[in-house]
Amino acid sequence: MTGSTDTTERTDRAATPRRRVSTRALVLTGILVSLVLAGIVSFYASSSPDGLESVAEKQGFADTAGEHATSGSPFADYGVAGIENARLSGGLAGIIGVLAVALVAFLLFRLLARRKSRD
């Protein structure tokens, strides 16, 4: 008897309409999670060299590396120029990066949506 009750409960649950999550809510939640990861969780990122730098140090050619072309930019080395606190600088750079990518994506989606509606 217990088996038939379980089947009935599963059927009732499957028949119950679920509330659909809106695209706007999904996108805003994704942006919020990204901002938290970039702005807060990045404070706890390792300050150890990344894989490439670590191998260069172990192999003895780390000293031969030169400055890259964008080393003087405001967001060079995963930070914001002018902010002395490395953790704050990195978190702020992450937040700005997330917002920049979200803005570019939004503009591209709008452009493509307008283009599609004209066709």
Could you give the percent of the chain with pLDDT greater than 70?
87
Mean pLDDT rounded to a whole number for the chain: 84
Instruction: Using pLDDT thresholds of 50, 70 and 90, give the confidence band for residue 13.
Output: low
Contact call for residues 81 and 75 (beta carbons, < 8 A): yes
pTM, two decimals, is 0.68
**Of residues 68, 70, 89, 69, the one with CA closest to residue 80:** 89
Range picked from 1-5, 27-31, 48-52, 71-75 for highest mean pLDDT: 27-31
pLDDT digits (tens, 9 = 90+) for 80-102: 999 999 889 999 999 999 999 99
pLDDT band at 6 (very low <50, low <70, confident <90, very high): low
pLDDT over 90 percentage in the chain? 39
